[in-house]
Structure 1
Amino acid sequence: MINGYELATAWVSEVGICLEDRTYSGKTAIREQWFQKAKIHGPWAITVNHLPCDSSRIYLNNYNFEVCKVIEFTLLDQVDLEQYYSLIEIYKESKRKFDRLKRGYNYGSLR
């Protein structure tokens, strides 16, 4: 333990960086797609530092002690989920329409 920080082994999984009963995320994990890789290849261990009295963040040892913050999962009720899925479908349909318009547009006519 240095300055109150403890060394610990955390696990990278498809849901985040897991340490004890908390789940964390950070820039490197997102940029390097750790969670997607863990879903495909399985979880792996990493070394982190943390303050036992502050479980809101951990620090990645091999990444210049980059901070990772705790992820707060929230339960959504059925109405929220239906609205969410409805918005996703609206987005997908808008994207399909845009792609069809883009394919049909003659960009050569702009010259």
Structure 2
Amino acid sequence: MNHPATQGVAPIHYATFREFYPFYLSEHANRTCRRLHFIGTSLVIGIVVAAILQRDARWLLLAPLSGYGFAWVGHFVFERNRPASFKQPLYSFIGDWAMYWDILRGRITL
């Protein structure tokens, strides 16, 4: 899906996450990109659990590498766009978790 913010038009300012989320989803139209996001976010959860169980915060250094690494491969290789986190970092972080939850609930397909 094309969105004005991806077509060389000045970026749109989103006043709320509710306004931003449809744009976020349009930036994740490719199934492989969504799958890579899901894998990366699942690994982040596992890393946080490992850090807690091991009582070792050094595990947390892997979380951004895992989460963003998988997502960025999905965007650059499969979606062929710039990650939304470059444009709207906070809303994109929230969007990652919202999309993850929507995938778990079957609202978005993998």
- Larger strand percent: 1
- Larger helix percent: 2
| Structure of larger gyration radius | 1
Greater length-normalized contact order (CA 8 Å, ≥ 6 residues apart): 2
TM-score, normalized by length of structure 1?
Answer: 0.29
TM-score, normalized by length of structure 2?
Answer: 0.29
